[in-house]
Amino acid sequence: MNPGLNAALNSGMAPVATPWFFYALAGMAVVSALLVITLRNAVHAALALIVTLLSVASLYLMLYAPFVTGVQIVVYAGGIMVLFLFVIMLVNIERSSKEHRFNRIWPAGLAAACALLALFVSAFVKGKALFADRGMPLPESSNTQQIATMLYGEAGRMGQYTFAFEIASLLLLVAILGAVIMTKKKI
């Protein structure tokens, strides 16, 4: 992190363009998320989801998390979304694009989601003081190195999350095997 930005953060001042960037990216994320759940064509919905994922990745960058940004772009926008597009093109979209988009009980679903939103809003209004900014800037240039230290450990010792990391790799192995076996014609 450059010294000027560091000083600006320490004095409680945000970098100049930050609020505008934040509102633009947040608006883009929410609008394209809205498109994901309303568009009729599944391919268009997938493209809107990619826009959401990239906007959220930029928001991570604004939160001084460059490594998570990279992982988000490479794994989500690059990997998972290609998988989604692949499957959309395998299953026929002709029929589903002519049917109704929403199911019969959609007012009930919408009401339940609105109740959830009200719960969030009340939690944020009541707990505003809990989310106060503590003004603790994260070092940006050594971000990846620090995450690696937490995941893999250093100097021959296990890191804090090494065990969880191994479990995650096992989970991925199980997921790969499950996906391959389930999509086989005859087991």
| Contacting other proteins within 119-158 (CB under 8 A) | 120-121, 124, 128, 131-134, 136-138, 143, 146-147, 150-151
CB 48 within 8 Å of CB 25: no
Which residue shows structure tokens 């998320």? 33
Binding string to other proteins for residues 72 to 91, with x set by CB under 8 A, is what? x--xx--xx--xx--xx-xx
Angle between helices 81-90 and 42-62 (to 10 degrees): 180
Query: Cα–Cα distance between 116 and 136 in angstroms, integer?
Result: 31
Sign of the C-alpha dihedral computed for residues 118, 122, 125 and 127 taken in this order: negative
Q: Which of residues 10, 24, 122, 178 is near other proteins by CB under 8 A? A: 178
Sign of the C-alpha dihedral computed for residues 104, 121, 136 and 64 taken in this order: positive
Using CB under 8 A as the binding rule, the residues of this chain from 97 to 116 that contact other proteins are: 99-106, 108-110, 112-114, 116
Q: Quick one: which H or E segment has residue 113? A: helix 106-126
Q: Phi/psi of residue 11, each to 5°?
A: -85, 10
CB of 183 to other proteins, least distance (A): 5
CB of 161 to other proteins, least distance (A): 5
CB of 87 to other proteins, least distance (A): 5
> What type of residue sits at position 140?
E
Select 130 or 155, whichever has its Cβ closest to other proteins: 130
CB of 129 to other proteins, least distance (A): 10
Q: Which of residues 3, 11, 141, 182 is near other proteins by CB under 8 A? A: 182
Select 156 or 163, whichever has its Cβ closest to other proteins: 163
Using CB under 8 A as the binding rule, the residues of this chain from 9 to 28 that contact other proteins are: 12-14, 18-20, 22, 26
